Amino acid sequence: MWGWSKIRNPLRVALNYLVIRISGFLPSLKIKNALYRSLGVKVGKNVAIGLEVTFDIFFPELIEIGDNSVIGYHSTLLCHEFLVDKWKKGPVSIGKNVLIGAHTTVLAGVVIESGATVSACSLVNADVARDALVGGVPAREIRSESGT
């Protein structure tokens, strides 16, 4: 992690941090979404991003959120991960009509397909199928689209 400044320009990371932190406290969804878009986050129409949501400060442009999706209070979407002797990055893709409950963490490289629901306080470290209900640490399927 000590070499992070070689991965991304520190001034860019500082700007990303400031915009993300300020946006996290704004009640206006319209202004909040515009600020996230200015960082490269792909935010669909009618997306609701809760208070104190944290997006990846290194690679916010790798986050995509589909139309009519909701990201709950104090959730975190990460597009990178520092490990002991290496690091990795990957996009986070959230489909349309997705609900992510409060205090949820979504890790790098995860795809949450349209219509899925992630319960509060979950850790999403693997892809989530269309219309599935998942929850827990790590998140596991509670219900599939067939209702079982």
CB atoms within 10 A of CB 62: 22
Q: What is the pTM of this model?
A: 0.92
pLDDT exceeds cutoff 70 at 30: yes
In whole angstroms, what is the distance from residue 67 CA to residue 97 CA?
A: 6
Whether residue 64 is contained in a domain is answered as: yes
In the prediction, which pLDDT does 143 show? 73
DSSP code of residue 39: T
Q: Total domain count for the chain?
A: 1
In whole angstroms, what is the distance from residue 66 CA to residue 69 CA?
A: 6
User: What would the pLDDT profile of 18-28 be if each residue is shown by its tens digit?
Assistant: 999 999 999 99
Whether residue 84 is contained in a domain is answered as: yes
In whole angstroms, what is the distance from residue 67 CA to residue 98 CA?
A: 9
In whole angstroms, what is the distance from residue 57 CA to residue 92 CA?
A: 13
User: What would the pLDDT profile of 36-54 be if each residue is shown by its tens digit?
Assistant: 999 999 999 999 999 999 9
Name residues whose C-beta falls within 8 Å of residue 83's C-beta, 6 or more positions apart in sequence: none
CB-neighbour burial class of residue 114 (10 A; exposed 0-12, middle 13-18, buried 19+): middle
- Please give the residue range of the domain that contains residue 106: 4-140
Whether residue 148 is contained in a domain is answered as: no
Cβ distance 133 to 123 under 8 Å? no
CATH number of 12's domain = 2.160.10.10
